[in-house]
Structure 1
Amino acid sequence: MAGINKVILVGNLGKDPEVRHLEGGASVAHFTLATNEYYKDKQGNRVERTEWHNIAAWRGLAEMAEKFLKKGQQVYVEGKIRTRQYQDKDNQTRYITEIIADEITMLGGRPNAGNGQNAAATNSTEAEAPQTFRQEPELDQLPF
């Protein structure tokens, strides 16, 4: 039996997506996502803990992220966790763990192009149905 590598996150974008267009025509978007949890310490004080996640979205999802996602927006991200290594400018091996997004759903309405206001303020029916984007599987990932 194959293992399962599935991540589900709901959080707020820490920055606008940064999109790169690669030589082969593929595009990749990188952004950070903050998730918060709350608990009470021994003194009964409410404590907030923020965890930052590195998100990578490829191809069509990268284009969607570039077009629709903005800093501070709440999103649902579904994907898989992956750790990769690279050489920094001092030739040191570095590691980064990131979530490779398979699905992104915009929550809390869509940004209104032009004035930056939330679509919920202008069109309540549009805000009721979150917009979901999915990454189409590569040919080598199909189950048949």
Structure 2
Amino acid sequence: MSLGDTYLTVLGWIGSDPDFREIRQTPQTTFRLGSTPRQFDKTLNGYVDKPTTWFTVQCWRGLARNAFESIKIGQPVIVTGRLRTHEWTDDSGEQHSRVILEAFTLGHDLSRGTTTFAKNAPRAEAVPFAPTELTPAGATAAPYPPDEFSTTPLPLSAERPAAEAA
């Protein structure tokens, strides 16, 4: 995190098909995100939509690949990231700029539906492990840290086991 950067979290809907590219061998996915606030109107005795704010969202590296394979136009998502200003000069010498939301995290909004999660396989391009004198004996490197929780499936039924019921 840097001082002076603007971080925000946006709840919205995917407004365009995700566009996947590799820029200098770095994966990037870009899509549009629309966020429409709703407000209760007493005169109408109901909710009304306020103007939609549109964001261009950029995802990089692993997030870019996962986003491209996971999100579709029209799906509700939550995006957290930092605002960046992209400036350029066109062929006629005119200055342009646009604000981009550079995503750190992205996920489906589970208050609006369900989703299924699949963990990525370990990265093949893992950095080689070079032990130092501070490394404990027998330690090895892994591209990801070990799982924090067991992967034993939990029963999801409403029934209680007989031992608990007694």
Shared fold (TM-score greater than 0.5)? Answer: yes
Aligned-pair identity in percent equals 24
Secondary structure of 2:52's partner?
A: strand
Alignment-derived partner of residue 2 in structure 1: 3
Alignment-derived partner of residue 77 in structure 2: 75
- For the Cα contact (< 8 Å) 2:5–2:83, is it kept in 1? no
**Structure 2 Cα separation of the partners of residues 90 and 81 of structure 1:** 27
What do the CA deviations read for 1:70-125 (whole angstroms, capped 9, x no partner)? Answer: 1001111011111110123443211010110000112349xxxxxxxx8x5xxxxx
Alignment-derived partner of residue 22 in structure 1: 23
Structure with bigger strand share is 1
Moved over 4 A (4+): 129-133
Alignment-derived partner of residue 140 in structure 2: none
Q: How many residues align?
A: 115
Q: In the TM superposition, what is the alpha-carbon distance from 1:20 to its structure 2 partner?
A: 1.4
The structure-2 alpha-carbon separation of the partners of 1:70 and 1:89, relative to structure 1 and needing over 3 Å to count, comes to: farther
Structure with bigger helix share is 1
Residue of 34, 52, 55 corresponding to 1:53: 55
- For the Cα contact (< 8 Å) 1:14–1:33, is it kept in 2? yes
TM-score by length of 1: 0.67
- For the Cα contact (< 8 Å) 1:106–1:130, is it kept in 2? no
Secondary structure of 1:6's partner?
A: strand
Q: Which has the higher Rg, Structure 1 or Structure 2?
A: 2
- For the Cα contact (< 8 Å) 1:103–1:132, is it kept in 2? no
Structure with more contact order per residue of length (Cα contacts < 8 Å, sep ≥ 6) = 1
Verify: 1:103 aligned to 2:105, yes or no. Answer: yes
**Structure 1 Cα separation of the partners of residues 71 and 94 of structure 2:** 33
- Gaps of at least 5 residues in structure 2 are 121-166
The structure-2 alpha-carbon separation of the partners of 1:89 and 1:69, relative to structure 1 and needing over 3 Å to count, comes to: farther
- For the Cα contact (< 8 Å) 1:10–1:77, is it kept in 2? yes
Q: In the TM superposition, what is the alpha-carbon distance from 1:59 to its structure 2 partner?
A: 0.9
The structure-2 alpha-carbon separation of the partners of 1:89 and 1:19, relative to structure 1 and needing over 3 Å to count, comes to: farther
